[in-house]
Structure 1
């Protein structure tokens, strides 16, 4: 069975339902991608690599992982830390604003759990996905060990996939983020950047500029996301521009890129062409942004993806 690991952080999500009531769920970029991949491709073995606490919300989070049929063998429980939390607000156009509480997040400690035995077990994976968020939150003194562990996995034949999801407030400065992102691009086999993040960090404002920038790296597959405009892919020497039909009923743009990532990668692992994978990923993203929160209702999401041919 094809196996993919998603390494990163899941958080407790809070959302205002009315002036007196909060809704609570769970979300995080790599977790969101894992959920949408598994929902669309149940035959893939999809696993989370993260650290949570032993508190009540962390236990509920673990139950949610299991309810989404995610493998939790490498979900580690820290004895004293807790799961991070965020509050999300959206404006009339569906754009988001976040308030975070993650200073005591167990996910910051995840590298401590990745001992030699665990890393050896991870070599059984076909693919490992990580993003700019775990790069930002793991502790400074764990970074060298983190890159060594990824290098071991790469040498063992695990495909490494990176999404440069940039959150400025998580980094000491932009230079630190650029240094770590450069390392990620250097080691990765597949990259899924968005123009918005590339613009902030590297001054890249178009897919053409991005293609030029990534020539310095030995990527097997490059997927450049430009919001609702288009997706440009480069696989070997095959350069394609894929038109995306924008969604008009935008409720909440949270997790659009995450849904695209999970479904695109699932499609590729399942033998779909790049073009087919892009269209399926775009359909997933377009469906998710028509619902509040990072994780769309299961029935609505599966119905939309069934209509798209899954």
Structure 2
């Protein structure tokens, strides 16, 4: 049996508090790329892939719990840095009656920000064996300038070593006080990427665009081999370089419970399918089905017994009655 391909996801995971303000709060953890790593791992359990998560955590009971939980999911944690006198970031989440989320963050001193505060890191040392490196706009946003440069350099080195880079545009304006800087860094990340997952609303906010039609045209013209465009309730588009865009229907949901991790689970499923040979349109359809399952449960990570199977995700769409 050949050695497993190594897929690395980089980002930040924080302590989560969910519940009533000054009432009962349930503790958990979450972060966009960590959520993606979990769904990717669950859908690739028997696919000869090694899913690694790279971040920084403290030496404390909360960090210990996170690592134990990630390992239980099958995620490799050998690229995690443990830093003394640091703690993970913290956020509280409120969900309204329609399932929409409202976040409150305490992340200015989050340990993940310090991942590159060393002459070398486990991620950089492992570059030669990385088949794909995945990050998001949030991964870039939380790092200080030197850390961003080190991460972008890591992307370039992965590609130079024959690996691929995947980037999710996940744009959060409050993390970017300088919009021009954000645009410049996104452009650099796009230029280094083989696969880009774009939420069109996020791209419009980043670019200051008011026309969805113009934004879509600009995204489709990006010189990136594979672009996936999520457009809310409209069909997802996949544009492979040199081909006409493909469409994948959005899965209808009777009742939305919590939209947390809808995009993260989409990314995890899409990459899981593409990494294991599934064609783009079928991968996007499966990813929409995964997101539909996730938003019918509270929290970012749904129970294992609620996970759709690969066979169910890849089943053909039933034909409409004539």
Distance 1:178 1:95, change over 3 A: same
Q: Would you say the 8 A contact 1:40–1:302 is kept in 2? A: no
Show structure 2 runs of 5+ residues with no match.
Answer: 316-322
Across the aligned residues of Structure 1 and Structure 2, the Cα RMSD in angstroms comes to 2.0
Cα offsets for 1:45-95 (capped at 9, x unmatched): 111010011111111111111111100010111112111111111111111
User: Given the alignment of the two structures, is residue 280 of structure 1 paired with residue 286 of structure 2, yes or no?
Assistant: yes
Show structure 1 runs of 5+ residues with no match.
Answer: none
TM-score by length of 1: 0.93
Query: 1 CA distance for matches of 2:218 and 2:105?
Result: 35
TM-score by length of 2: 0.90
C-alpha deviation, 1:306, in angstroms: 5.2
User: Given the alignment of the two structures, is residue 48 of structure 1 paired with residue 53 of structure 2, yes or no?
Assistant: yes
Which residue of structure 2 aligns with residue 111 of structure 1?
116
Which residue of structure 1 aligns with residue 303 of structure 2?
297
Q: How many residues in Structure 1 have an aligned counterpart in Structure 2?
A: 308
Distance 1:80 1:152, change over 3 A: same
Query: 1 CA distance for matches of 2:295 and 2:233?
Result: 11
User: Given the alignment of the two structures, is residue 100 of structure 1 paired with residue 84 of structure 2, yes or no?
Assistant: no
Which residue of structure 2 aligns with residue 263 of structure 1?
269
**Which of these residues, 222, 233, 237, is aligned with residue 232 of structure 1?**
237
C-alpha deviation, 1:254, in angstroms: 0.6
C-alpha deviation, 1:248, in angstroms: 2.1
Distance 1:83 1:114, change over 3 A: farther
Aligned-partner SS, 2:216: helix
Aligned-partner SS, 1:308: helix
1:21-60 aligned within 5 A? 21-42=24-45, 43=47, 44-60=49-65
Cα offsets for 1:154-179 (capped at 9, x unmatched): 21112001111111111122222111
Aligned-partner SS, 1:147: helix
**Which of these residues, 64, 68, 75, is aligned with residue 63 of structure 1?**
68
**Which of these residues, 156, 175, 181, is aligned with residue 180 of structure 2?**
175
User: Given the alignment of the two structures, is residue 193 of structure 1 paired with residue 193 of structure 2, yes or no?
Assistant: no
Q: Would you say the 8 A contact 2:78–2:122 is kept in 1? A: no
Q: Would you say the 8 A contact 2:9–2:52 is kept in 1? A: yes
C-alpha deviation, 1:153, in angstroms: 1.6
Distance 1:196 1:124, change over 3 A: same
Aligned-partner SS, 1:169: helix
Higher helix fraction: Structure 1 or Structure 2? 1
